[in-house]
Amino acid sequence: MGYLSGLFRWRKVVSKEYQSFDDYPVCTDENLWTEYTSRYAVFKIWSPVAEEVRLNIYDRGHGDDLTESFLLDQKENGLWKIKLRGDYKGIYYTFSVKYKGRFLDETPGIYATAVGVNGHRAMIIDLEDTNPEGWHNQSRPKLNSFNDIVLYELHVRDMTIDPKSGSSFPGKYIGLIETGTKNKEGHCTGIDHIKALGVTHVHLLPVFDYFMVDEAALHNPQFNWGYDPHNYNTPEGSYSTDPFNAEVRIKEFKQMVMGFHKNGIRVIMDVVFNHTYLTENSLFNREVPGYYYRQAKDGGWSNASGCGNETASERAMMRKYIIESCKFWATEYKIDGFRFDLMGVHDIETLNLLSEELKKIDPTIFVYGEGWTGGSSPLPEALRAMKANTLKLTDIAAFSDDMRDGVKGNVFDNKSTGFVSGAKGLEETIKFGVVGSTYHPGIDYKKCKYSKKHWAPKPSQAIGYVSCHDNNTLYDKLIISRPDAPLADIRKMHRLANAIVLTSQSVPFLHAGVEMMRTKYGEHNTYNLPDDINRIEWNWKTQNHDIFDYYRALIALRKNHPAFRMPTSEMMGEKLRFFHLNDGGAVAYQVSENANGDPWKNIIVVYNANPKSLHFALPEGVWRVAVKDAWIVPEGIEDVSGNISVPPISMMVLFQ
């Protein structure tokens, strides 16, 4: 077959004029993924405005080696298609869409599942070839309920790029699952560390193919968080050992997922459908100019992402795209959940349809997101998947910025402090966090920091957290907002902050490294800063082993005690009661009657954020202390009754 061999086929050239994007014919039921068998391959693209679509075939993922070119056939509803006979495995390809008389830049196709270096060209592969041995027999680790989840937010490169991690594959997918690695002092690192900590899920910062790291120049250290999407359905190349070969990143990504699964840890992907890195010349715009994005009143790109554009999930083919993409990752890669970046940019209906579709694959796939936008949007607020609309979302959770800022201060204001760092009047906000942002009769919502009413229908629809990749680390925030505080107090505040998160009924979320007092040296927006700011330094584990031990024991306490994981607002209303305290800077509550099947009959939790001891009058009877100051002893430290003293800036847990 020669160059442009398909060109002379008869075709109908149609000039298309539509009044609006809503008039475009759609093919929502069409399978748009490239199909491969050893006998033929089928290439498809949806572009109702295309005048012609050309398929370009290459030997490699880069360079000037076009070997063949074909024109696709125009089908119904904007679909273009070509079936090529023969075995095309291993070839690279792109599409060129002719629009208003000229060919737009080549696109690998937004449904590309394998791409070469820097994601310029797609590759025909047999995905079956990319499966590690035993892939089909492995299963997702057991998860009974979303309430049991403990999230750990991780960047692939951060975890192993420090030489002190002892990793053989620093910064790579397969580095994340290497067992037996240790720091100089002999403390375990990498996946052994994550496993020892006891979290149930790792949440990976973007691992789909993003734009800004040059995969062809990995000899130069480069860092990016990855919120700059390019190809949504293929792994990022810079975390693979060979980004030039499209198969390698897929194989290694699957090895990573399988490695986590084998160690009992589920894997969540951070997905960034709200915008694309490129705007005018994005892959979406090279296929159907304008369609996949929302427009501002002046006709320009609207920008609810704050990144130059925002996608239009309410349009049929964008909605289909988001749903198909997540389904693809959940099946082909056995991904266990999705964290939606700027979820508020998307419409509620799309997210609910997605939730429904994912449940058909596996009802334990977890979906959550940032219930806000990064700017104004033409999508009406009532339709947005915002935190305030979580009551309309089906089993989809939103991050609680109420808890985040209530516990340790506003992330946008350096001076701002929170409950643990000495701010006054945040007791109701902390209580709101305890009940997972749901309704509870013991809370005066008018006194809460941001939300003035409950927004989560059940506690598993709220993500409880105090820090994440954005903004300062917890340690840095405490240091910056409390320059006067001695380090010993900072450590106590640090412990208390996540003690609140891990005993609250929402789904707890930890920023990787917080369990060893991670610092980013005061930098807050580190998305493209060097490794030496972003990496986890493994000497921290040795220096702060007491903090690690505390976190690990807290996670174990949560996992062993269903009373901290009640499924409904009704159950909390019945079993959880807040104490009235005369002192500010403290919150106390009791969970009673073996709540949610807990082995402990009654549990009392006291958070004392004051720099002095808190006097607390216990209810009748003898109580056993399980957590006091830095100590967590599940079988109990001592028995107490009557008036007790809760140490400064600490959590106390007692039980009967």
Residues that bind Ca ion (CB under 5 A): 209, 236-237
In Å, what is the CA distance from 515 to each residue of 154, 171, 199, 263, 405?
A: 13, 20, 11, 20, 19
Residue 244 Cβ vs Ca ion, minimum distance, rounded to whole Å:
12
Residue 280: burial class (beta carbons within 10 Å; 0-12, 13-18, 19+)? exposed
Distances (CA, A) of 549 to 37, 263, 607: 52, 20, 19
Catalytic-role residue among 341, 428, 489, 537: 341
Q: Are 205 and 226 in contact (CB under 8 A)?
A: yes
| Active-site option among 247, 287, 347, 370 | 370
Report the distance separating Cα 122 and Cα 61, nearest Å. 7
Nearer to Ca ion, 153 or 236 (CB): 236
Among the listed residues 469, 507, 502, 649, the one whose alpha carbon sits nearest the alpha carbon of residue 197? 502
User: Computed over its alpha carbons, how large is the radius of gyration of the chain?
Assistant: 26
> Is 236 or 247 the residue whose CB approaches Ca ion more closely?
236
Closest to 506 in 3D by CA, of 560, 455, 545: 455
* 209/537 with CB nearer Ca ion: 209
Q: Rounded to an integer, what distance in angstroms lies between the CA atom of residue 305 and that of residue 378?
A: 12
Q: How far apart are CA 44 and CA 30, in angstroms?
A: 10
Shortest reach from residue 230's CB to Ca ion, in Å? 6
Q: Alpha-carbon distance 551 to 500, whole Å? A: 11
The answer to whether 314 is a known catalytic residue is no
Residues found in the chain: 656
Active site (annotated) includes residue 639: no
* Smallest separation (angstroms) from Ca ion to the CB of 237: 5
Question: Please, what is the minimum distance in Å from the beta carbon of residue 235 to Ca ion?
Answer: 9
Residue nearer to Ca ion on the CB measure, 122 or 646: 122
| Contact between residue 588 and residue 579 where contact means Cβ atoms under 8 Å apart | yes
* Nearest position to Ca ion, beta carbon: 209
> Residues with Cβ < 8 Å from 306, sequence gap 6 or more?
374, 375
Question: Please, what is the minimum distance in Å from the beta carbon of residue 292 to Ca ion?
Answer: 20
Our CB check for Ca ion shows the closer of 236 and 515 to be 236
Q: Which residues pair with 270 in a beta bridge?
A: 339
Q: List, in order, residues 6 or more apart from 504 with CB less than 8 Å away.
A: 403, 433, 434, 435, 436, 464, 564
* Nearer residue to Ca ion within complex by CB, 4 or 212: 212
Task: List the catalytic residues.
Answer: 341, 370
